[in-house]
Amino acid sequence: MIPLELTLKNFLSYQQATLNFRGLHTACICGANGAGKSSLLEAITWVIWGKSRAASDDDVIHGGCDDVRVDFQFISNQEVYRIIRNRRRGGNSNLEFQIESAGEFRTLSGKGIRDTQKKIITYLKLDYDTFVNSAYLRQGRADEFMLHPATERKQILADLLKLDQYQELADQAKDLSKQYQGQANQIELSLVPIKEKLSQEKDLKEKQKNLVQDLETLQLLQEQERRELQQLQQEENERKTLSEQFSWQQHRYQALIKDEERLTQEKEEINYQIKNLKKIIEQEDKILQRYQQAMQFQEEEKRLATQFKVYQEQQREKQQLEQQLSQETNQINLQIHQVKTQLESLDQQEKELTQILNNSQDVKVALERLSHHRERLQHLDKLQHQVAPLLQRKYSLQTKIEQSKANLKAQLEQLYLNEKYYLQQIDKIPEVRQSLLEIDLKLQELDKKQVYQKRVEEKGQERNEFQERLKENQRLSEEKIEELQEKLKKLEIPEAICPLCEQDLDETHRHHVITKTQRQQQETQEKIWILQEQMSVVKQELKILREEYKLLNQELSIKASLEQEYGQIEAELENSGKISFQLKETTKKIKEIEQLLTAETYAIELQSELTSLNEELQKLNYDEQTHALVRGEVERFRWAEIKQAKLDEASRRQSIILQQKPTLIEKINHLTQQKENLQNQSDIKIKINSLEESINELGYQSSEHQKLLDALRQSQSWQLQYQQLQQAKQQYPQLQERYQTIEIRLQSQQQEKEKIQKEINQSSVKIDLNSNKQQQIDNLEKQIQNRRQKLDELLAQKGRLEQSILQLQSLKEQNEIDKNHLKEIRKKYRVYQELAKAFGKNGIQALMIENVLPQLEAETNQILARLTANQLHIKFVTQKAGRSGNSRQKSAKLIDTLDILIADANMTRSYETYSGGEAFRINFSIRLALAKLLAQRAGTSLQMLIVDEGFGTQDTEGCDRLIAAINAISSDFSCILAVTHMPQFKEAFQYRIEVKKNYNGSQIHLVS
């Protein structure tokens, strides 16, 4: 891919920018940190693949804007393409893919964004992961491959080569092999009981012949006993019918006796009621006379009640008028009291104002002194405005001078500490060397534990696989139990059919099938118990292995820190030669700073300016204390202004009081006269007098009313007797009619009772003639039941034998099918087991990595030679000998790894021991070699190279070599872009793309 033109609108820090790559072979993108250099490269990845460092798609939109658009033109495989991607904030994205044809662009886009994205990757033969791991050396990730431990680098390389698809195939093959292995084990277990059952066929047929003879004999005996039982049951049923009829007759006779007793009692009660009613009717004249007198009392009470109601209303109206008169009188009294209170208040205020006006002369003198002090204060305020900036500058200069002195002292203190530190480091060198030896011994011990941990892990994996097989067998057994339970439920139905031949089952065969199914269920359950016991043992073993693995893991957790500490100590020893030089420089700087502090020759310009300011302040002769005293005098006499304001207010209020007093006195006299008129001549008083005369004329007496009420209460008993008389006259003929009806019913029941007594005597004679046959029936039924149970047992045995014989035939056929099936499953198991090994890490993946590493090593050394003037050489080691616990052992086991050894002019050492600049050159070489390799595997050529911020660790010589290496490999690429903020580096490129940031966002300028 060769870039031609990039157009940005509202992308990250850019609002509007266009970058033309035509004619650029090697160029530098330069600018300050945060100016937007990396955003240009992020725009390329976002427009092509829709990916960037932003957390969400809306985050790439420039702040304050609603949409974003990126337009990118490039060459790939001798064709010119253009990709346009845009998005609205909170909305959807759009993607357009075009190709140039005859000077114009025509679309290659699919139906949607996903389809278009697939077409872009197909045409470019490059996805995002391959791009960022090949053509794009992103900021801060140049050493990403090298920083991982040697045991992880192989996996990272496999991920870069996209070998995970082989691992997925290996996992699938492994899972399938486990499934087929479990199925094979299950079939083998199921064949063992089948073989045992087939050996029982001859014995079963002999038993079947003997059972048929016994069944025929029992069935003849049972038929004879059944006919005898039917005869006895018929005779017993006739006897029970007579007994039930006799019992009913007795029950009916007893019911008639009770009914006769009830009617007799009711007859006596009605006779008693008739006598009582007759007595009430005989007193009719006396009751009527007393009732009429009570009615007269009620009429008189109604008249007095009406008179009492009028009396109450007039009394209530009189009370309301008297209450109204009292309220109005109280209101006038309240107004008189309020006016008198106002008059007293005005008298008191008049006295206070007179006292205030007597002090007017003292206030006048104080006002004159206040005016004099205010004039002096205004003069001092003007002088202060002139002096204040000078004093502020003076204090600022003094602070800066003291700060300069403090900075020098702080530098001196830091230099003292550095000097002390360097001396301590020189003294620690022997101790550091001893620590390095101790850490090496610890690492050797941890390597031994790591090998043992690997063995524990393999043992755990083997136990886990065995546990999975047990779980699978348990699952199959539980499914079989569920099938047998379902089969038993179906057999419990009376119309059940045979589960094998699907024909109707008689009682014997059904019982036989149920027994057999229950036995199979019990055998399967016992098998599950054995599997659960084995699983319990495996779980305990796994628990012990996990605890041991966890303990080893805790012990090995410090290995990485020890290895890091080992590398740090080695680096510390290498840097010990620089400490002596740094100690001499520090001692020299200490002497220079001590001379400056002793002679006070620091901040010369500030000290000269401070002297001039002091002279100018002496000329102005401003005294802050005098200024404060004058300000205090002004504050001390300010009370005179307040007193003068109070005198003016007192004079005004005195004149108002003299005007208000006559009005209040006149108002008091008017209210007094109004009160007298209300109590003697008002409308309310006239209405009260009229109501008193009306009450006297009414003449209502409460004592007479009370006597009438007492007489009325005494006459209420005659009203009750009058009501009883009316009821008696109504009930008397009804009771006489009821009395006659009861006499007729008693005669009828007497006749029926005599009839039932005769029937009872006849039934008793018949019952005595028929004897009880129940004991004979019970004995015969028990005998038939016992014979039936024996017959059922023989039928069940016969059914079981027949079913067993039929099942043996099916088992023979199933045995042959299972054997053939077992052969196929074992064959598939072996196939998938071999495929799992072939696709695994030690198969195709390891072979591909072994084939790639020589090419990667050769390409890396070619680039590294250019960067280091042939001083460094790299080598990839994929296996190494593990540490052996036995010193006599001649050879140790080889361990898979991906160590990177770098050889210089003196020795071969690990990557971690090299300095920052050397490490970056190594990283750059490996990274660039990986880029070429990944591009070749993707089916495309690496035509563009982007290096983002990788030069900060290089010294001047390293930068020159890096620039020379880029120039040396420039012929391999059509476009090389280097991103940096270092001024000395950007000058080495013929073309510079300068990025600056202002209030309008990031801006691009192309400089040649």
Q: What is the pLDDT of residues 478-501, one digit of tens each?
A: 888 888 877 777 766 655 565 555
Residues sharing a CB contact under 8 Å with residue 297, sequence separation 6 or more, in sequence order = 708, 711, 712, 715
- The answer for residues whose C-beta is within 8 angstroms of residue 716's C-beta and 6 or more apart is 294
Q: Which two tokens stand for residue 779?
A: 């004995």
State the Cα–Cα distance between residues 172 and 175, nearest whole angstrom. Answer: 5
Average pLDDT estimate for 239-250: 77
- Cα–Cα distance measured from residue 196 to residue 557, given in angstroms and rounded to the nearest whole number: 57
CATH number attached to the domain at 360-578 = 1.10.287.510
Instruction: Please tell me whether residue 880 adopts helix, strand or coil conformation.
Output: strand
CA atoms in the 13 A half-sphere facing the CB of 168: 5
Three-state DSSP class for residue 575: coil
Name the residue type at position 573: L
The predicted model gives 315-321 an average pLDDT of 79
Q: What is the DSSP letter of 504?
A: B
Q: Give the list of residues 6+ apart from residue 923 with CB closer than 8 angstroms, or none.
A: 142, 143, 145, 146, 950
Cα torsion angle, 340, 346, 348, 351, sign: negative
DSSP for 591-605 reads HHHHHHHHHT-SSHH
Query: Which residue would you say has higher pLDDT here, 826 or 153?
Result: 826
CATH number of 2-161+864-875+914-1007: 3.40.640.10, 3.40.50.2020, 1.10.3720.10, 3.40.50.300?
A: 3.40.50.300
- Residue 301's contacts (CB-CB under 8 Å, 6 or more residues apart) are 705, 708, 709, 712
Helix or strand holding residue 1003 (H, E)? strand 1001-1007
Q: Residue 1: which of 142, 138, 160, 127 has the closest Cα?
A: 127
C-alpha atoms less than 13 angstroms from C-alpha of 651 in its C-beta half-sphere? 9
Are the beta carbons of 384 and 622 closer than 8 angstroms?
yes
Residue 781's pLDDT is 77
11-20, 176-185, 711-720, 932-941: least confidently modelled range: 932-941
Asked whether residue 884 carries a pLDDT value surpassing 60, the answer given is: no
The answer to whether 848 and 161 have CB atoms below 8 angstroms apart is: yes
pLDDT, position 96: 92
80 C-beta neighbours (distance < 10 Å), count: 15
Higher per-residue confidence, 823 vs 140: 823
Transcribe 154-208 into DSSP letters.
HHHHHHHTTTHHHHHHHHHHHHHHHHHHHHHHHHHHHHHHHHHHHTTHHHHHHHH
Question: Could you count the other beta carbons within 10 Å of the beta carbon of residue 962?
Answer: 23
Tell me the CA distances in angstroms from 591 to 403, 424, 581, one per residue in order: 20, 21, 16
Q: Identify the pLDDT of residue 159.
A: 67
Question: Cα(327)–Cα(317) distance, rounded to whole angstroms?
Answer: 15
Q: Give helix 360-491 / helix 576-599 axis angle, nearest 10°.
A: 170
The Cβ-side half-sphere exposure at 311, using a 13 Å CA radius, reads 14
Distances (CA, A) of 101 to 8, 84, 127, 373, 828: 24, 17, 25, 96, 54
pLDDT attached to residue 895? 67
Question: Taking residues 208-237, what's their average pLDDT?
Answer: 77
Mean pLDDT of the chain: 77
Q: Does the pLDDT value for residue 655 go beyond 90?
A: no
| Residues near 752 by beta carbon (within 8 Å), at least 6 away in sequence | 256
Nearest to 913 by CA among 443, 567, 435, 440: 567
Span 782-793, pLDDT tens digits: 887 787 778 777
- Domain limits, the chain: 2-161+864-875+914-1007, 163-199+773-839, 308-358+650-711, 360-578
pLDDT band at 461 (very low <50, low <70, confident <90, very high): confident
Q: What span, in angstroms and rounded, lies between the C-alpha atoms of 528 and 525?
A: 5
Cα–Cα distance, 533 to 527 (Å, whole number): 10
Please give the residue that has the higher pLDDT: either 804 or 935. 804
Distance, CA of 976 to CA of 950 (rounded, Å): 14
Burial class (CB in 10 A: 0-12, 13-18, 19+), 267: middle
Q: Quote the tokens at residue 628.
A: 């404060």
The answer to whether residue 651 scores a pLDDT higher than 60 is: yes
Query: Can you give the pLDDT at residue 162?
Result: 67
For 531, counting Cβ atoms within 10 Å of its Cβ (0-12 exposed, 13-18 middle, 19+ buried), the class is buried
Six-digit token string for 740: 């006659």
Spatial strand order of the sheet with 2-11 comes to 14-20, 2-11, 67-76, 79-88, 93-101, 104-107
Compute the radius of gyration of the chain from its Cα atoms.
62
Written as one letter, the residue type at 469 is R
DSSP state of 54: S
Q: Is 30 annotated as a binding residue?
A: no
Query: What ranges make up the beta strands (E) of 846-999?
Result: 873-881, 894-903, 908-910, 944-948, 975-980, 991-998
954 confidence band (pLDDT: 50, 70, 90): low
Cα–Cα distance measured from residue 858 to residue 864, given in angstroms and rounded to the nearest whole number = 10
| Residue 950 reports pLDDT greater than 60 | no
Top-confidence range, 89-103, 227-241, 743-757: 89-103
Return the residue matching tokens 């790939």. Answer: 76
Using a 10 angstrom Cβ sphere, with 0-12 exposed, 13-18 middle and 19 or more buried, the burial of residue 580 is exposed
Is 959 annotated as a binding-site member? no
pLDDT of residue 498: 58
Which pLDDT band, with edges at 50, 70 and 90, does 322 fall under? Answer: confident
What pLDDT, in 10s, does the model give residues 565-619? 777 776 666 666 667 677 778 888 888 888 877 777 777 777 787 788 787 777 7
d(C-alpha 169, C-alpha 922), whole Å = 35
pLDDT value of position 890: 45
pLDDT for residue 422 is more than 60: yes
Which range, 13-27, 360-374, 615-629, 631-645, has the best average confidence (pLDDT)? 13-27
Q: What confidence tens digit (pLDDT) does each residue in 832-871 have?
A: 888 888 877 777 777 777 777 787 788 788 777 777 777 7
pLDDT digits (tens, 9 = 90+) for 49-69: 888 877 788 888 888 888 999
pLDDT band at 184 (very low <50, low <70, confident <90, very high): confident
The angle at the Cα of 223, spanning 218 to 226, to the nearest 5 degrees, equals 125
Residue 907 and residue 924: Cα distance in Å, rounded?
A: 21
In the structure, what pLDDT confidence band is assigned to residue 887 with cuts at 50, 70 and 90? very low
pTM of the model: 0.38
What letter would DSSP give residue 25?
S
Q: Which two tokens stand for residue 432?
A: 């550091």
Mean pLDDT for 301-320 is 77
Q: 524 near 475, Cβ under 8 Å?
A: no
pLDDT at 70 over 90: yes
What are the DSSP calls for 70-101, one per residue? EEEEEEETTEEEEEEEEEETTS-EEEEEEEEE
Phi and psi at 942, nearest 5°, equal: -85, 95
C-beta neighbour count of 137 within 10 angstroms: 24
> Is pLDDT at 40 greater than 80 in this prediction?
yes
Residue type, 383: L
Length of the chain: 1008
Cβ partners under 8 Å of residue 596, min gap 6: 408, 602
Question: 1005: pLDDT confidence band, cut at 50, 70 and 90?
Answer: confident
pLDDT digits 0-9 by tens, 809-836 = 777 777 788 778 888 888 888 888 888 8
Residue 777: alpha-carbon gap to chain centroid? 77
pLDDT number for residue 84: 93
Q: Are 475 and 532 contacting, i.e. CB atoms less than 8 angstroms apart? A: no
CA distance linking residue 417 with residue 652, whole number of Å: 83
Residue 458 has pLDDT above 60, yes or no: yes
Amino acid at 358: N
128 within 8 A of 45, measured Cβ to Cβ: yes
**Cα 390 from chain centre:** 65
Q: How far from each other are the two terminal CA atoms of the chain, in whole angstroms? A: 23
Dump the DSSP string for 330-363.
HHHHHHHHHHHHHHHHHHHHHHHHHHHHTTHHHH
The encoded tokens of residue 168 equal 């997925």
- Beta-ladder partners of 82: 73, 98
Which token pair is 749?
């029941």
